[in-house]
Amino acid sequence: MAKYFDVHPENPQPRTIGSVADSIRSGALVAYPTDSCFALGCQLGNREGMARIRSIRNLDERHHFTLVCQNFAQLGQFVHIDNDVFRAIKASTPGPYTFILRATNEVPRQLMHPKKKTVGVRIPDHAVTQALLAELGEPLLSSTLLLPDEDEPMTQGWEIKERLEHLVDAVLDSGDCGTRPTTVIDYSSGEAEVVRAGAGDTDRFE
């Protein structure tokens, strides 16, 4: 049965954030809010958690998982970025964008695209997510909370608790959350390719 944590959207209670972070370190799969919509997240390297995300969302091995990072310095540990791409991504973060880039050796092999050796990364502009990432001290392995055969992600914490009570270990709720997933930009070739138009403006990449 999933635990439910309700926090303030701008000043999340440190003790609650600490409890959620501890559960993630212990192997928990959590649903949490971001600046685009709710996401599923677990600790980097948690193979069981990754398998549970695949099961909940009915994903195949080609799906790009996302490393949700606290800041640009952390993001740079996990992907290769040349100067032009660096400037473009720096200008768009934090924000509702996911960038697909070539992964470094810091990324577990099972997280990479099996052929391209790429991974998705993002830096959210959301106080609760940032507080959780700061407490963890490492990225969250994440995927949008979009259930199979549904057109829009889940947006209400209470509904997530009700519907996924036996599929996730915790729900972190801070009230209203967005309804659109991130905009996904593939930079693995060195040029920007808009893979998915979402919450972030695509004009600067087209």
Residue-wise pLDDT for 107-117, tens only, equals 887 777 777 88
Domain of 181, CATH number, reads: 3.90.870.10
Distance CA 64, CA 62 (A): 6
Tell me how far the alpha carbon of residue 78 is from its chain's centroid: 14
Give me the domain span that covers residue 89. Answer: 3-205
Domains held by the chain: number:
1
Tens-digit pLDDT profile for residues 18-71: 999 999 999 999 999 999 999 999 999 999 999 999 999 999 877 878 999 999
